[in-house]
Amino acid sequence: MEEILDAYDGVLLDAYGVLVDKTGALPGAAELVGRLVAADKPFLVLTNSASRLPATLARELADRGLPIPASRILTSGVLLADWFRSQGLQGAGCLVLGTRESEEYVRRAGGRVLDGADRADAEVVVIADQKGFPCIERMDLVLSLVLSRLDAGRPVHLLLCNPDLIYPAGPDRYGFTAGALAAMLEAVVRQRYPTLKTPLVPLGKPHPPIFAAARARLGDGRLVMLGDQLATDILGANRCGIDSVLVGTGLARGAAAGGDARPTWFLPSLAQ
């Protein structure tokens, strides 16, 4: 870890599977955060989570012994504001899959959050999280909206905050995430419209928007990404010209590195 920290100007840290899981802080996480703060090393927690606002995540991390301010947390939900602004969609009607705080991200971005009764007015679907709503009923609602608009030749914007398919819920425990819901929706759209390019816009890792936002915050120095997922943390960092460290906790166990997903470094855990 000393060698890694000495080699880079800034550090990007995945949250779940690297710093914490549902059981609490992972080994070495508190010590690493303390070292970064003591050395005044620029760092960001870079997370695909869009279920909680940065301030909420900061409180949760602090409760687990990780005093990380909200200003050092970059979530995929934060990226919604730039996307709404770039597309001129302030005031657009939105259906949101996610929690109340997921809806708050959409409101802060300028979207108008609709309930099921107003779905005909929705131009945007934001797939933020897998929790906070009755899954089957709301997925049926979103599917009906998307197909009806496509059938009528009307545009629909599909935003995916968290492209992860699964997350580590604890030792040998896993759960589905928003990315799995998006994969279901994409499969139906591809079957119904084989020649249509699925209008899904992913914002989180491994896609460029979240890494570009991290660079904008930390500057042009040499960065390194510490993550536990080859397909998101490592692949995304590598493709954006950022070195990567695969941390052998979370979802790293049993994963085979190769091609664009080969990490620059490997650590069994943050305690190494």
pLDDT the model gives residue 173: 80
Backbone φ and ψ for 160, nearest 5 degrees, come out as -115, 110
pLDDT the model gives residue 259: 66
Distances (CA, A) of 25 to 31, 32, 106, 128, 272: 11, 11, 29, 24, 15
> pLDDT averaged over the chain?
91
Q: Tens digit of pLDDT for each residue in 27-55?
A: 999 999 999 999 999 999 999 999 999 99
pLDDT the model gives residue 251: 62
Percent of the chain with pLDDT over 90: 77
Q: What is the mean pLDDT of residues 112-118?
A: 81
Strand partners, 224: 11, 243
Closest CA to 49 of 129, 124, 168, 108: 129
Q: Are 11 and 226 in contact (CB under 8 A)?
A: yes
Q: What is the mean pLDDT of residues 92-116?
A: 94
pLDDT the model gives residue 170: 67
Binning pLDDT at 50, 70 and 90, where does residue 258 land?
low
What global pTM score does this model have? 0.90
SS3 sequence of 109-163:
HCCEECCHHHHHHEEEEEECCCCCCCHHHHHHHHHHHHHHHHHCCCCCEEEECCC
The token duo for 143 is 């599917």
How far is the C-alpha of 178 from the C-alpha of 107, rounded, in Å?
A: 19
Which residue type, as a one-letter code, is found at position 96?
Answer: V
Least confident of 37-51, 104-118, 235-249: 104-118
Binning pLDDT at 50, 70 and 90, where does residue 18 land?
very high
Strand partners, 122: 93
What's the DSSP call for residue 232? I
